[in-house]
Amino acid sequence: MRHRGRKSGKSYETPVAIIGSTPEGVYIGLPWGPATDWIRNLQTAGGGSLVWKGQVFAVTEPGFVGKAEALAAAPGLRRRLAGRWLPEDCLRLRLRPGS
């Protein structure tokens, strides 16, 4: 995940674990909760960019969803594994092709 500091304007890259995806977006588990700096940076900027599957996507509309919605977008084995450790809060980001 690429994002800019909301105060410093500095560029950051944060590794994330994508739990599931739909054609419109991705779901990310939040093991450290929804108030981490990188999430607040995304919220302030309205998005950032994500390098995923060899492509760069603009991500927009950061919003919190429950575990059930994120797991519904996960493929079989990942759904079963994530169902054991995934916290209740997850982040949904809308995907837009581009950098």
Q: Tell which residue, 47, 43, 48, 92, has the closest CA to residue 67.
A: 92
Can you give the residue range of the structural domain that contains 51? 2-97
CA distances from 4 to 26, 46, 48, 51, 56 (A): 20, 11, 8, 15, 16
Structural domains counted in the chain: 1
User: How would you write the pLDDT of the chain (99 residues) with one tens digit per residue?
Assistant: 999 999 999 999 999 989 999 999 999 989 888 999 999 999 999 999 999 989 999 999 999 998 889 889 888 877 777 777 777 889 999 998 665
* Contact between residue 20 and residue 27 where contact means Cβ atoms under 8 Å apart: yes
**What pTM was computed for the model?**
0.87
The CATH number covering residue 75 comes to 2.30.110.10
- Give the DSSP H/E element, type plus range, for residue 71: helix 67-72
